[in-house]
Structure 1
Amino acid sequence: MLLSAFFVIIEDKIESNKVKLVNNYRIRLIGILTITALRFGFYSSDMMTGVVPFSWPALLENLLLTLLMAVTIWEATRAVVVYFNKRHPLHYISGHRFAKEALFVILANTLVYALTLLLFFFTDPESEPHAVYLFFGFLDRFLYGILVAAFYELLLFIEAWRTATKEAEELKKVNLMVQLESLKNQVKPHFLFNSLNTLTGLVEKDPSQAVKFIAELSKVYRYLLQSNEKELIALSQELQFTEAYFYLLQTRFGQGISLQIAITESAESYLIPPLTLQMLVENAVKHNQVSARKPLHIKLSLEDGEWLRVENNYQPKRNPAPSNGMGLSNIASKYRLLSQPEVIIRSDENSFRVKVPLIKPVSHEHIYS
């Protein structure tokens, strides 16, 4: 299960590499020449040992026929491998799949062999087919066909594993960078100062609300610590964390900020990279004016059932702080490494919108469990 689901995540990423591999002309040429050399070597040895009378025309004829045989075996088998890798992705690897592919390799080479024989006997009608010759000719093509198919499948598997390993390492690096960036933003002095300052005011004015503030603050940090090792998490958990994080913001800004969540329960089982919503909400607060006179309205909603849209009214600060754009860049990089559609960013004079794709939970549960 772990290996098959791992291939699900990176399968789209390696698809282009697979196509290049099976279409590589150098591999095809070397493979065809290798089969030709092996098959022709057997015939030449018969001539050299005197089993078959030596004749230059016969030697040349056999070389051409062997080359034709190698081309038909290689290309027919390659076509079967391409077909099966399109119809049956890597995460469907099973004995049944390979047995089916082997059967198709036999059928394809049998068909090509039959067409070759028809052509041969059509051009030389006086030749009489021998059962032993036909049987060993079929066996010859079957064995070489299986070897070619096994060779390609091994190449594809090695390429998939190499790409998967590389992508996994890159994903870990980006994931760590996102986690550290978020933790850095949360624990930097001004955030702690603002949170503690708000808490001090609440303790004096409203102790019960202060207790709730501490509870929500603990939820924020607990989520940050628990999500460190996860690449994907359920949208429902991300929303709970976002609500706790927003409570801290609302306690601080009061009527200057609002959050509307318009997401159905059926969509909450979808997956999303941890801290995505927190970074988008924080991005909105960071770059816009937030006050009772100019309230910031943030809305989370679904679009087309497969996208999560985060939208806020656009009211840029008069003296904005320098921004390196790392928040949005990190989110986009993470979705890219997960082989998901690109994050969409749109803005106009009235609003700023970010759309992130929701990931279906099928075959991914183990990642965040």
Structure 2
Amino acid sequence: MQYSIMLKPVKIGQILKISLLLALLISLPRSIYIYNMLSDGNLELSGDLLIDFLGRYVFFVVFSWIMLQFNTNTVYLYFKESPRLRVMLSILVNILILILFLNLFNYLFPFITGQEMDDRARGFSNFNYTVLMVVLFFIARVLRLQTDQQESKLENERLKQQNLQSELAALKNQIDPHFLFNSLNSLTSLIRDNKPATQFVNKLSHMYRYILQSGDSNLVAVKEELKFLESYAYLIETRYRDRFKLNIEINEAYLDEKLPPMALQLLVENAVKHNEISASHPLKVDIVQRNGSIFVENGIRPRTNLADGTKNGLINLKKRYALLLKQDLTIRQDNDIFSVELPLAKEA
């Protein structure tokens, strides 16, 4: 299972309850022993005895809580992409925590109880902590898997709900495609002598067809996106002429890989919406492939009359990447360059 920033942590309260219960269970043999000694009259109840018992119990609780917190949440937060490294680190840190607690307990024991711990008691204590460490390691794994499964079910339900809402919105807003295509064809016949206008309508028709066809797909091939982007770029170039330039450099080996529909078009549209486009300040958008991802980059020259709501497209795209690919959309803005990295999914 691959983890992302959306990793849901195991609840602190749940970890604390398990820690309290485990500490109680591992203290149970000693509790029974003390009870029997008290019942037989071989031991008297005293403040030192209670302090000894409570001190051991508190140490077990703290040890259990730290181990569970580390093995269920912390290690997954910082080592998301490398399961092998995560396991090796978990084992190493668990051993270090065990050694630290054993030394700390042995050091503090005389101060807590007022008496030294003999070798037999120290060996028994070391054994208890070692067994507890192994048990906690496996409990942490079960907790992590359980939490991930619950989150996966919730995420699937969210996706189903979003798909239903999208389908409903499409049904509400969709004009009969045949009607629109027939209207575009009729318009083409009226302006057939005007080649630029005919080309414009044909590109618009291609865009609409692609939007309808890709509506049923969560991911599309890069080559299909580029065809759609070519039509969209034509519409922009028709408006801005030589004030707008689109540069595409993508290796053919990546053309069959996948990304969410209209991702490239959305980022080009975002660049057009946000930046000044004039004869003195033309807009150039570069779409290049590096390190298995596609980067969409443009110079930054903000418009003075930026319309409200222009960030919704980027937010929508980030959500789609998180839901569909379990990956982050990396956005950078430095040296007057705005750059968005689009990770690609391998061809299924």
1:238/1:274 contact within 8 Å kept: yes
- Residues 125 and 170 of structure 1, relative CA distance in 2, 3 Å threshold: closer
2:250 is matched by which residue type in structure 1?
E
1:280/1:310 contact within 8 Å kept: no
Q: Sequence identity of aligned pairs in percent?
A: 17
1:142 is matched by which residue type in structure 2?
T
1:87 equivalent in structure 2? 78
2:151 equivalent in structure 1? 163
Inter-partner Cα distance in structure 2 for 1:330 and 1:173? 20
Inter-partner Cα distance in structure 2 for 1:356 and 1:181? 31
How do 1:101-140 residues align onto structure 2 when only pairs under 5 Å count?
101-121=90-110, 127-130=117-120, 133-140=121-128
2:64 equivalent in structure 1? 74
Q: Are 1:239 and 2:226 an aligned pair? A: yes
| From 262, 286, 292, the counterpart of 2:247 | 262
Per-residue Cα deviation, 1:187-233 (whole angstroms, up to 9, x for no partner): 5577435421243247x6599x9899879956863674256222x44
2:335 equivalent in structure 1? none
Q: TM-score, normalised by structure 1?
A: 0.62
Inter-partner Cα distance in structure 1 for 2:170 and 2:264? 11
Inter-partner Cα distance in structure 2 for 1:257 and 1:193? 28
1:359 is matched by which residue type in structure 2?
L
Inter-partner Cα distance in structure 2 for 1:118 and 1:225? 71
Inter-partner Cα distance in structure 1 for 2:268 and 2:108? 71
Q: Report the secondary structure of 2:119's partner residue.
A: coil
Q: Report the secondary structure of 1:12's partner residue.
A: coil
| From 175, 199, 221, the counterpart of 2:188 | 199
Inter-partner Cα distance in structure 2 for 1:101 and 1:313? 48
Q: Are 1:13 and 2:6 an aligned pair? A: yes
Alignment coverage as a number of residue pairs: 317
Q: Report the secondary structure of 1:263's partner residue.
A: strand
- Residues 177 and 235 of structure 1, relative CA distance in 2, 3 Å threshold: farther
1:74 is matched by which residue type in structure 2?
S
1:288 equivalent in structure 2? none
Q: Report the secondary structure of 2:5's partner residue.
A: helix
1:40 equivalent in structure 2? 27
Q: How much has 1:97 moved relative to structure 2?
A: 4.1
Inter-partner Cα distance in structure 2 for 1:225 and 1:145? 55
Inter-partner Cα distance in structure 1 for 2:24 and 2:104? 23
2:285/2:296 contact within 8 Å kept: no
2:261 equivalent in structure 1? 274
Q: How much has 1:109 moved relative to structure 2?
A: 1.3
2:79 is matched by which residue type in structure 1?
H
Q: How much has 1:141 moved relative to structure 2?
A: 0.8
Q: How much has 1:12 moved relative to structure 2?
A: 1.0
- Residues 166 and 338 of structure 1, relative CA distance in 2, 3 Å threshold: farther
2:341 equivalent in structure 1? 358
Inter-partner Cα distance in structure 2 for 1:135 and 1:150? 23
List alignment gaps of at least 5 residues for structure 2: 273-281, 323-327, 333-337
Q: How much has 1:266 moved relative to structure 2?
A: 6.1
2:283/2:298 contact within 8 Å kept: no
1:264 is matched by which residue type in structure 2?
E
List alignment gaps of at least 5 residues for structure 1: 286-296, 317-322, 345-354
1:31 equivalent in structure 2? 18
Provide the aligned C-alpha RMSD in A.
5.2
How do 1:298-309 residues align onto structure 2 when only pairs under 5 Å count?
300-301=285-286, 306-308=295-297
1:307/1:356 contact within 8 Å kept: yes
| From 325, 333, 337, the counterpart of 2:316 | 333
Per-residue Cα deviation, 1:222-273 (whole angstroms, up to 9, x for no partner): 674256222x4455531222224566x59xxx95565631233369779652
- Residues 39 and 103 of structure 1, relative CA distance in 2, 3 Å threshold: same
Q: How much has 1:129 moved relative to structure 2?
A: 2.0
Inter-partner Cα distance in structure 2 for 1:180 and 1:70? 55
Asked which structure has the greater RCO (Cα within 8 Å, sep 6+), the reply is 1
Stretch moving more, 333-342 or 68-77: 333-342
Q: How much has 1:299 moved relative to structure 2?
A: 5.9
Stretch moving more, 43-52 or 149-158: 43-52
2:16/2:65 contact within 8 Å kept: no
Q: How much has 1:145 moved relative to structure 2?
A: 2.1
Q: TM-score, normalised by structure 2?
A: 0.64
